[in-house]
């Protein structure tokens, strides 16, 4: 992700550019060139991080974010 546009972009990049997480998650920087792309990524780690950030930025409660992410992961992984 080159050139930050929003705080969501900054947070997403800060988390997903962790080298260990990239190795474990099997993704690369090209898998999330934009925040919107990360929200629909086929990689569950990329998508989960983006959805957590989106939920937080929309003012959702921690419980709501947890429930949404848990449901998504149960269906996906």
Residues 31-50 pLDDT 10s:
888 899 999 999 999 999 99
Give the other-Cβ count within 10 Å of 49's Cβ: 23
Domain membership flag for residue 1: no
Picking from 66, 39, 64, 41, the residue whose alpha carbon sits closest to that of residue 54 is 39
CB contact at 8 A, 21 and 48: no
DSSP state of 17: T
Domain membership flag for residue 17: yes
pLDDT at 19: 96
Domain membership flag for residue 2: no
Q: Is the pLDDT of residue 4 over 80?
A: no
- Counting the structural domains of the chain, the total is 1
Supply the range of the domain harboring residue 31.
7-76
């Amino acid at each position: 992700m080159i050139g930050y546009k929003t705080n969501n972009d900054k947070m997403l990049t800060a988390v997903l550019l962790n080298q260990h997480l990239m190795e474990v998650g099997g993704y690369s920087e090209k898998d999330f060139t934009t925040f919107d792309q990360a929200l629909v990524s086929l990689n569950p780690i990329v998508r989960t991080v983006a959805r957590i950030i989106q939920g937080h930025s929309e003012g959702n409660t921690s419980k709501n974010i947890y429930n949404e992410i848990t449901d998504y992961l149960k269906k996906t992984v």
